[in-house]
Structure 1
Amino acid sequence: MSAPTSVPPTVRPEPGPDAPAAAAPRDAGPPPAAPKRAAVRPPLGTARRRLVQAGWATTSLAVLVIGFGAFLPTLSGLQEQHAQAAAYKTLREQFGTAVAPTGPTVDGAPVAMIDIPALGLYETVVVEGTTGRDLMRGPGHRRDTVLPGQQGVSVLFGRRVSFGAPFARIAELHEGDRIDVTTGQGKSSYVVNEHGEGGNPLTDQAENRLVLVTGDSDWISSSTVMVGARLLGEPYADAGTRGALRPTDKALAADRSALSALQLWTLGLLGCVTLTTLAVRLWHRWAAYLCSAPVLGAVLWSCYENAAALLPNLY
Structure 2
Amino acid sequence: MTATLTPVDVRPAPSGPAPRSSRLWTVGGTLAILGALLLGFVAEVGPLGDLRQERDRRVGYADLRASLAEATAPIGPSTEPGTPVALLKIPQLGVKEVIREGSSAEVLASGPGHRRDTVLPGQAGNSIVMGRRAGYGGPFRHLDTLQPGESIKVVTGQGEHTYRVMGVRRAGDPKPPAIQAGQGRLTLMTATGSPYRPDGVLQVDAELISPLQPGAVPAFRFGHVPDDELPLEGQDSAWLPLVLWAQALLLAAALLVWARTRVPRAHVWLVGFPVLVALGLTAGDKAALLLPNLL
Map of 1:212 onto structure 2: 188
Structure 2 gap ranges (5+): 1-14
Map of 1:259 onto structure 2: 239
In structure 2, what is the Cα distance between the partners aligned to 1:133 and 1:44?
Answer: 51
In structure 1, what is the Cα distance between the partners aligned to 2:273 and 2:32?
Answer: 19
Alignment-mate amino acid for residue 70 of structure 2: T
Question: Higher relative CO (CA 8 A, sep ≥ 6), structure 1 or 2?
Answer: 2
Residue among 43, 54, 76 paired with 2:49? 76
Query: Residues 108 and 201 (structure 1 numbering): CA distance in 2 closer, same or farther, change over 3 Å?
Result: farther
Residue-pair matches, total: 272
Shift of 1:286: 4.0
Map of 2:160 onto structure 1: 187
Structure 1 gap ranges (5+): 1-42
Question: What SS class does the counterpart of residue 257 from structure 1 fall into?
Answer: helix
Shift of 1:305: 1.1
In structure 2, what is the Cα distance between the partners aligned to 1:101 and 1:294?
Answer: 41
Per-residue deviation, residues 142-192 of structure 1 (Å, max 9, x unmatched): 001011111111000001111111111100111122211101111111111
**After TM superposition, which residue ranges in structure 1, 4 or more long, deviate above 6 angstroms?**
48-51
User: Contact between 2:36 and 2:279, CA under 8 Å: does it hold in 1?
Assistant: no
The answer on 1:234 being equivalent to 2:207 is: no
Map of 1:170 onto structure 2: 143
Question: What SS class does the counterpart of residue 133 from structure 1 fall into?
Answer: helix
Query: Residues 291 and 59 (structure 1 numbering): CA distance in 2 closer, same or farther, change over 3 Å?
Result: closer
Map of 2:73 onto structure 1: 100
Map of 1:119 onto structure 2: 93
Map of 2:9 onto structure 1: none
Shift of 1:56: 7.1
Alignment-mate amino acid for residue 210 of structure 2: G
Map of 2:287 onto structure 1: 307
User: Contact between 2:37 and 2:284, CA under 8 Å: does it hold in 1?
Assistant: no
Per-residue deviation, residues 65-91 of structure 1 (Å, max 9, x unmatched): 366235413221112122222212211
User: Contact between 2:43 and 2:281, CA under 8 Å: does it hold in 1?
Assistant: no
Shift of 1:58: 6.1
The answer on 1:203 being equivalent to 2:192 is: no
Question: What SS class does the counterpart of residue 190 from structure 2 fall into?
Answer: strand
Map of 1:12 onto structure 2: none
In structure 2, what is the Cα distance between the partners aligned to 1:55 and 1:275?
Answer: 13
In terms of Rg, which structure is larger?
1
Shift of 1:310: 0.8
In structure 1, what is the Cα distance between the partners aligned to 2:52 and 2:16?
Answer: 46
The answer on 1:159 being equivalent to 2:132 is: yes
Alignment-mate amino acid for residue 175 of structure 2: L
Aligned-pair identity in percent equals 35
Query: Residues 173 and 277 (structure 1 numbering): CA distance in 2 closer, same or farther, change over 3 Å?
Result: same
Shift of 1:204: 3.3
User: Contact between 1:74 and 1:162, CA under 8 Å: does it hold in 2?
Assistant: no
Question: What SS class does the counterpart of residue 108 from structure 2 fall into?
Answer: helix
In structure 2, what is the Cα distance between the partners aligned to 1:71 and 1:255?
Answer: 15
In structure 1, what is the Cα distance between the partners aligned to 2:48 and 2:39?
Answer: 13
In structure 1, what is the Cα distance between the partners aligned to 2:293 and 2:149?
Answer: 28
In structure 2, what is the Cα distance between the partners aligned to 1:301 and 1:257?
Answer: 18
Question: Normalising by structure 1, what TM-score?
Answer: 0.77
In structure 2, what is the Cα distance between the partners aligned to 1:106 and 1:63?
Answer: 33
Alignment-mate amino acid for residue 107 of structure 2: D
Shift of 1:194: 0.8
Map of 1:222 onto structure 2: 199
In structure 2, what is the Cα distance between the partners aligned to 1:64 and 1:265?
Answer: 10
Question: What SS class does the counterpart of residue 46 from structure 2 fall into?
Answer: helix
In structure 2, what is the Cα distance between the partners aligned to 1:197 and 1:51?
Answer: 54
In structure 1, what is the Cα distance between the partners aligned to 2:174 and 2:261?
Answer: 61
Residue among 114, 130, 135 paired with 2:108? 135
Map of 1:144 onto structure 2: 117
